[in-house]
């Protein structure tokens, strides 16, 4: 189980980056924390933020469904959208987040090899994510998905602001 990340406040107002690797998830609550994940291509990045509890998290999923490798999913649940997002929600709820307060934002789910990509992993990641969130009564508020560009996703814990950086531009979701 991922523990809530707490870091000593070395200097007031100084941002502290928490990196989410591929097939990884992080949760934070300190206002100075910024959660970030890099290189979202066909992978899907999801941020969930509860402004009432002041808690949020980010996940970087590589594949849509864990049924292709249940053993791998047991070891690395965040690799898959279905097991990863379920684990993320469970951990957020255990730390005080409430479903009705969660703000969901999504980035990635692209086709880095172009529209003719055989397996359409990005599209499948996005479809499974939308279905999973919908079944849990969570709607996606904003998204930056599809296309062939790589993205970097940021979640600022001070206010829940979520931004996507790609091709030298950073935009707020």
pTM, two decimals, is 0.90
Instruction: Give the orientation angle of helix 121-135 with respect to helix 81-94, to 10 degrees.
Output: 40
Q: Does residue 81 contact residue 136 with C-beta atoms inside 8 Å?
A: no
Terminal CA-to-CA distance of the chain, rounded, Å? 29
The residues that are catalytic are 43
pLDDT tens column, 19-60: 999 999 999 999 999 999 999 999 999 999 999 999 999 999
Q: Is the CATH number 3.40.50.10490 carried by domain 16-165?
A: no
- The rounded radius of gyration (Å) of the Cα atoms in the chain is 15
In the chain, where the domains are located: 16-165
Per-residue confidence band for 8, with pLDDT thresholds at 50, 70 and 90: very low
Q: Are strands 140-145 and 169-172 parallel, antiparallel or unpaired?
A: unpaired
Highest average pLDDT, of 3-12, 13-22, 114-123, 145-154, comes from: 145-154
Q: What is the pLDDT of residue 1?
A: 45
Neighbours of 98 (CB within 10 A): 12
pLDDT tens column, 97-116: 999 999 999 999 998 776 65
Q: In the predicted model, what is the mean pLDDT of residues 12-17?
A: 70
β-pair partners for 140: 104
Average pLDDT of the chain to the nearest whole number:
91
Tokens 């509860």 identify what position? 50
The DSSP code sequence of 85-108 is: HHHHHHHHHHTT--GGG-EEEEEE
């Amino acid at each position: 189980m991922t523990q809530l990340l707490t870091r000593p406040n070395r200097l007031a107002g100084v941002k502290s980056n928490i990196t989410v690797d591929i097939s990884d998830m992080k949760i934070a609550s300190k206002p100075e924390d910024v959660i970030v994940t890099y290189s979202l291509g066909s992978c899907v990045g999801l941020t969930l933020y509860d402004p009432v509890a002041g808690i949020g998290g980010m996940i970087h999923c590589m594949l849509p469904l864990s049924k292709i490798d249940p053993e791998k999913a047991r070891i690395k649940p965040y690799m898959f959208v279905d097991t990863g997002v379920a684990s993320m929600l469970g951990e957020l709820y255990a730390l005080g987040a409430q479903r009705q307060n969660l703000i969901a934002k999504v980035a990635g789910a692209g086709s880095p090899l172009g529209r003719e990509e055989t397996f359409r992993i990005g599209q499948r990641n996005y479809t499974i994510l939308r279905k999973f969130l919908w079944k849990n009564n969570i709607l996606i508020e904003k998204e930056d998905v599809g296309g062939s560009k790589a993205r970097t996703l940021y979640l600022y814990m001070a206010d829940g602001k979520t931004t996507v950086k790609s091709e030298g531009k950073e935009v707020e979701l």
